[in-house]
Amino acid sequence: MNRTDEELLAETASNPEAFGAFYRRHEKSVLLYFLRRTASPEVSADLTAEVFAAALESSKRFRAGKAPAAAWLFGIAKNKLAASQTRGRVEERARKRLGAEPLLLTDEAIERVEQLADQARESESLSAMLDDLPPDQREAIRRHVLEELPYNELSKELRCSEAVVRQRVSRGLRTLRLQAKESA
């Protein structure tokens, strides 16, 4: 059973693995949030660790409401980032209260974080190039290439022939290839 973020946080006090599942679900997005804002793998990793330590500490006070748990988590992230920018360093209070060891990043871990940042930049670049396509080509590529919807199903959804869908995908991919060559 796939539990919601809200259910995982409600379960955290009695089942620590529930918070582990919440952490695994959101670690990458929080790390990328910090990478985009700090451009430092080390600072991003430290901030991510502090955010999840603070979230674990306050999980018992979390109340499901209008905003989803992910918004609550990113609210913590925003506050930790602002505090670190004000102080000129990453706060470690939540980790210390939990008795967590200082974060020591190996070269391998730093390389993994940098790869994530590169992938995020490539994804943003691809997304921007997709946004530049005509709407019919953009939709055809998203649905067929990214969502792997077969041409016959896509043609029914778009209410056009398979040949038209194939042409839209082909033209859009050709344009993307040309844009990629120009930006390289």
pLDDT for 167 = 92
pLDDT for 131 = 81
Q: What is the mean pLDDT of residues 58-85?
A: 87
Domain ranges of the chain: 5-106, 110-183
pTM over 0.75: no
pLDDT for 141 = 85
**CA 92 centroid distance within chain:** 23
Give the tokens for residue 48. 């991510």
Report CA-CA distances (Å) from 1 to 4, 21, 22, 170.
Answer: 10, 12, 14, 39
pLDDT for 76 = 93
Looking at domain 5-106, its CATH class is: mainly alpha
Q: What is the mean pLDDT of residues 126-133?
A: 77
The least confident of 21-25, 168-172, 178-182 is: 178-182
Asked whether residue 54 carries a pLDDT value surpassing 70, the answer given is: yes
pLDDT for 75 = 92
Asked whether residue 147 carries a pLDDT value surpassing 80, the answer given is: no
Which letter, b or e, does each residue of 65-83 get, where b requires 16 or more Cβ atoms within 10 Å of its Cβ?
eeeebeebbbebbeebbee
Q: How confident is the model at residue 177 (pLDDT cuts 50, 70, 90)?
A: confident
The CATH code of the domain at 110-183 is 1.10.10.10
The least confident of 2-11, 89-98, 166-175 is: 89-98
Looking at per-residue pLDDT, the higher value among 42 and 165 belongs to 165
The model's pLDDT over 75-113, given as tens digits with 9 standing for 90+, comes to 999 999 998 877 776 666 655 666 666 556 667 776 777
pLDDT for 113 = 73
Q: What is the mean pLDDT of residues 3-8?
A: 91
Residue bearing tokens 């993994």: 112
pLDDT for 100 = 65
